[in-house]
A = this chain, B = another copy of it.
Amino acid sequence: MQMGEGVEWGLHCLMALVWLEEQGPVAAGRLAEVFELPPEYLKKRLQPLVRAGILASTPGARGGYSLARAPEKITLMDVVAAVEGREDAFRCTEIRQQGAGVLASVGEFGRPCGVAAAMRRAEMAWRRELAAQTLADLLGVAPAGAAGRVRRFHQSR
């Protein structure tokens, strides 16, 4: 079970956009340079963040991406849900009701399947942890020189 690269790309781009905030919106091509990523492919990966209201996309020659809300208001769960979807990783297809399940007494399957409930508990622990961490927290633990370095790189282009 693997995530796509969209979460890593998205979170790093969000951090860079905070550091480049004073320059106004950052075009996809310029943002791609900051991480040496393929611009068109990066655009596709960032699109879900625009749809989710995490990123703002300004059209036009001086347009580009900027944060749609404050870093404290963007949790890792918001980003993961936008990029990877809101469905649980585990899908219960109710195989318990098939085969021998046809012999079940009425009401036996009224309560959720214990397997699904157990997998859900783990999923919820993961979600709680992601929801408890914000972009502001990530910015807070970034290396001291990172913001200035990204700004210098961006201005040198």
Provide the bound-state CA to CA distance between A71 and B104, in Å: 24
Residues of B contacting A90 in the complex (Cβ-Cβ under 8 angstroms): 3, 7-8
B residues in contact with A146, CB < 8 Å:
96, 104, 108
Question: Are B2's CB and A98's CB within 8 A?
Answer: no
| Residue from A33, A95, A121 whose CB has the most chain B CB atoms within 10 Å | A95
Contact of A145 among B34, B108, B122, B145 (CB under 8 A): B108
Chain B CB within 8 A of A43 CB: no
Interface residues of A in 13-53 (CB under 8 A from B): 15-16, 33-37
Interface of chain A, main secondary structure: helix
How many residues of A are in contact with the other chain, CB < 8 A? Answer: 65
Interface residues of A in 112-157 (CB under 8 A from B): 114-115, 117-119, 121-123, 125-130, 133, 137-138, 141-143, 145-146, 149-150, 152-154
**Copies of this chain held together in the complex:** 2
> Complex Cα distance A87/B1, Å?
8
Chain B residues near A76 (CB-CB < 8 A): 118-119, 122
Write the chain B residue with the least CB distance to A115: B11
Q: Which residues of A contact B (CB under 8 A)?
A: 1-5, 7-9, 11-12, 15-16, 33-37, 76, 84-85, 87, 89-93, 95-96, 98-101, 103-105, 108-109, 111, 114-115, 117-119, 121-123, 125-130, 133, 137-138, 141-143, 145-146, 149-150, 152-154
